[in-house]
Structure 1
Amino acid sequence: MDEDRATRRIRKDETSMMTRKTPFLIAALLGLWAAPAAAQQTIKIGLVAPMTGAFAAAGQSHATGAEMRVKEINAAGGKYKIELLVEDDASNCNQSTNATVKLITQDKVQAVLGAVNSPCALAMVPITQRYKVPQFTSGVGTAITQQGSEWVFRIAVAATGQTKVLSEFAVKTLKHEKVAILYSDDEYGASMANGFKAGLAALNLQPAAMEIFPRNDQDFTGQLTSVKRSGATALYAVGAYTASALIAKQAKQLGMNLQLLGDTGNASPKYIELGGDAVEGAVLVEPFTPADPDAKNQEFVQRYKSQFGREPDGWVAEVYDTVGMIHEAVTKADKADPKVIRDHVAAFTEGSPYKGMLGNWAFDKAGDASFPLYKVQIKNGAKTILAR
């Protein structure tokens, strides 16, 4: 009997132990059977821009616009996060091409943003075409999207589009028929100058004067003297915003009372800062302006200012939207692949656009984007909207 009781006690103890262990065993088995959580994957985007040198303000706008959107996307979670890799080309086209090769072959980026300067963006086109990686540039030089590459997209309104709008506004709205053109001797300057000349021709007008200057020149006295002799009442100065600001100052020193005109390159806050009183009254075109009171626009302005301490410009908005396009492409296809990004962006049309801060994005067969431009005037050191 004692043996029977001992046997029953052992069995009872074993049953009790099994009962206590069961939840742990089940939990362990569930842990083994449960599907592992999907690992977050990375989209690598390279940016080639002048972070130093005379064009650094433009490079900073590109970098901060991209950084702002990357932070928002990564904070939202999801399967795909973004890693932004920035290369400083200092507006040197050799550095632009070297940086592009590095980003593609070593860093394995799926998309490249840049370059900012048209000559450098043009130099990058054969590289992105060879490696089949989409390139997104704000360079407005006409030749950039005329190289037969299906891998390049212009995320700014092209030279012909900008100058058509600006020349028509100068003549029809501002009532200036004697407009002089002063432009830099590079792809950007030539494209914009020829575009503006064509815009005047469409209105049966010719430039009052058409003067060229070396890209890095700082003395424009000779060209401005020719402009003064021409009897021009308005001046379209195209080049770096640094050069345009200097031209405005030197024109004022020469006693010239001209209506200054500028494209998106002069819409940088740096143009106002460097030009001071000399750029007061200048009329510019730009794709985005902090002066727009629209609630969505102002919310974007405040978010940007809270992070970077200044107002955003058109370059910020263009790059911000572009990062969004790239992320959308990868997320929809569930594949971080250069061709996936290229095909997705190329499919944006007026009937099926990408909706971003700049409105509805669409690209033509050459890769050129199109969207409306604001016409703004500098008054008391700030921008005021004249029309859109």
Structure 2
Amino acid sequence: MLKKSKRKLVLLIVLILSVNALAACSNNQSSSENVLRIGVVGPESGGSAQLGQGQRRAIELAISEINENKLAGEWTLEAFFEDDEGNPTKSSSATNKLIQESKTHVVIAAINSSATLADMVVTERAGIPQITPGSTGASITEQGNEWIFRTAANDAFQADALIKYAKEELGLTKLATFTSADDYGQSGAKLLKNAIEKYGLELVDAPTYNNGDKDFKPQLISIKEKGAQAIFLWGLYTEAALISNQVQQLGIDVQLFGASGMASAKLIELGGDAAQGLILTQTFLPDADIPKVKEFVEKYKEKYNESPIPHGAQAYDTVYIIADAVRKANSSNPKDLRDALRKTEGLELVTGNPAFNEQGDDIGKRLLITEIRGNEFKLIKAVENN
């Protein structure tokens, strides 16, 4: 009799444990179903590491705020990061890893335009929405890819704004372009040329350079001999700083211009006196007198003890756009997310009021023409999207 009682007790304990285990599994499954997994690809090492590191910090800040305040409704956001070193091959491999191994529902990638172009092949094939907060190459949104979105100001907008400013505000007529030989630089070169022709100016020289080059003097001497009044750079901050220094060393009297790809504190640090007065476009200034900007900068400084960079601000906004999309779609299904992203509206964010056109470009982006003065980028003019 005693043995039977013991057996019944053991069976009862097993039954209770089994019920609890099933309940735990059910709860875990329910929790898992309400987690949106975001893959993030960017250069956290290599020549544009500051951009990738700034992107990561801003994304982590946004996710912590959104989850804490339940701004994605019943959904919790989780990020998975991969370093692509700015290399297209590594970037596409990282994107594939995030989709296949981390099972991400949406991808934020990448910063370098050539890397984004490589990633797009992977995300389109997998049917996963991809948002790039840093890549500005015009060709990214010109390929009819229904899965790509961009929260950076595209290069066509930037090139037009810079050339128009050079003509109307500075009265310059003879211009040179000096661009990196990669996808980003050559896209910029083409758009600058188109804008120069549009505004009836003269393009006197258009040399290129390779990323990693150290000596730019032969191209600069050619530009000087052809009588250029300004040089429009299209590349990243490392080469832009070196070029600025060599322009100064050669005594070339020109106005230097650049695009958002080089908008980093590193440009000011590496360029020194030679970078002073360089005019460039970007979408964010940490000292802007805008409530959303002030709030973001204060929180970012409190967490990281440094000011955010434009790429970080755009990445921060990107996470909020994704949170809004999953809240409205109430689904992690990639197609539902893509459709919700297309309908983005009514958000007041750090870099503007996002809205995507048919190509996936954010047409609510605020573009700023700025100048390096001292250790800061100072606002010259704000330009509305055409």
TM (norm. structure 1) is 0.87
Residue 274 of structure 1 aligns with an amino acid whose one-letter code is L
1:198-347 residue pairs with structure 2 within 5 A? 198-347=194-343
Post-superposition offset of 1:237: 1.2
Residue 197 of structure 2 aligns with an amino acid whose one-letter code is A
1:44-59 residue pairs with structure 2 within 5 A? 44-59=37-52
Q: Is the 8 A contact 2:331 2:337 kept in 1?
A: no
Post-superposition offset of 1:353: 4.4
1:196 corresponds to 2:192: yes
Residue 110 of structure 2 aligns with an amino acid whose one-letter code is A
Provide Cα deviations, 1:111-166, integer angstroms capped at 9, x if missing partner. Answer: 11111111111011111011100011121112212222100112111111110011
Which of 90, 107, 114 aligns to 1:119? It is 114
Post-superposition offset of 1:326: 1.0
1:147 corresponds to 2:143: yes
Aligned residues: 352
Q: 1:186 to 1:136 in 2, by over 3 A?
A: same
Give the equivalent residue in structure 1 for 2:366.
Answer: 372
User: What is the rounded CA distance, in whole Å, between the counterparts of 2:109 and 2:59 in structure 1?
Assistant: 12
Aligned-pair identity (%): 36
Post-superposition offset of 1:213: 1.1
Q: Is the 8 A contact 1:70 1:82 kept in 2?
A: yes
1:386 corresponds to 2:380: yes
User: What is the rounded CA distance, in whole Å, between the counterparts of 2:123 and 2:31 in structure 1?
Assistant: 29
Residue 322 of structure 1 aligns with an amino acid whose one-letter code is T
Q: Is the 8 A contact 1:330 1:337 kept in 2?
A: no
User: What is the rounded CA distance, in whole Å, between the counterparts of 2:247 and 2:289 in structure 1?
Assistant: 33
Give the equivalent residue in structure 1 for 2:5.
Answer: none
Q: Which has the larger radius of gyration?
A: 1
SS of 1:261's equivalent in the other structure is: strand
Residue 170 of structure 2 aligns with an amino acid whose one-letter code is L
Listed as ranges, the gaps of 5+ residues in structure 1 are 1-31
Provide Cα deviations, 1:254-286, integer angstroms capped at 9, x if missing partner. Answer: 111221111111211111111111110111111
Q: Is the 8 A contact 1:135 1:153 kept in 2?
A: yes
Q: Is the 8 A contact 2:155 2:191 kept in 1?
A: yes
Give the equivalent residue in structure 2 for 1:95.
Answer: 90
User: What is the rounded CA distance, in whole Å, between the counterparts of 1:216 and 1:258 in structure 2?
Assistant: 24
> Root-mean-square deviation (CA), in Å?
1.9
SS of 1:150's equivalent in the other structure is: coil
SS of 2:340's equivalent in the other structure is: helix
Provide Cα deviations, 1:170-219, integer angstroms capped at 9, x if missing partner. Answer: 11112222221100111100111111111111111121211111222121
Q: Is the 8 A contact 2:175 2:201 kept in 1?
A: no
Which of 50, 60, 75 aligns to 1:80? It is 75
User: What is the rounded CA distance, in whole Å, between the counterparts of 2:221 and 2:110 in structure 1?
Assistant: 34
Q: Is the 8 A contact 1:47 1:114 kept in 2?
A: yes
User: What is the rounded CA distance, in whole Å, between the counterparts of 2:88 and 2:308 in structure 1?
Assistant: 26
Provide Cα deviations, 1:31-56, integer angstroms capped at 9, x if missing partner. Answer: x9xxx997472111011111001110
User: What is the rounded CA distance, in whole Å, between the counterparts of 1:344 and 1:355 in structure 2?
Assistant: 17
Residue 49 of structure 2 aligns with an amino acid whose one-letter code is A
Q: Is the 8 A contact 1:197 1:206 kept in 2?
A: no
1:4-19 residue pairs with structure 2 within 5 A? none
Provide Cα deviations, 1:308-333, integer angstroms capped at 9, x if missing partner. Answer: 22211221111111111111111222
Residue 95 of structure 2 aligns with an amino acid whose one-letter code is T
Residue 67 of structure 1 aligns with an amino acid whose one-letter code is E
Provide Cα deviations, 1:46-96, integer angstroms capped at 9, x if missing partner. Answer: 111110011101111211121110110122245211111110011111111
Provide Cα deviations, 1:317-361, integer angstroms capped at 9, x if missing partner. Answer: 11111111111111222222211221011123xxx4443212211
SS of 1:260's equivalent in the other structure is: strand
Relative to structure 2, which stretch is displaced further, 54-63 or 75-84?
Answer: 75-84
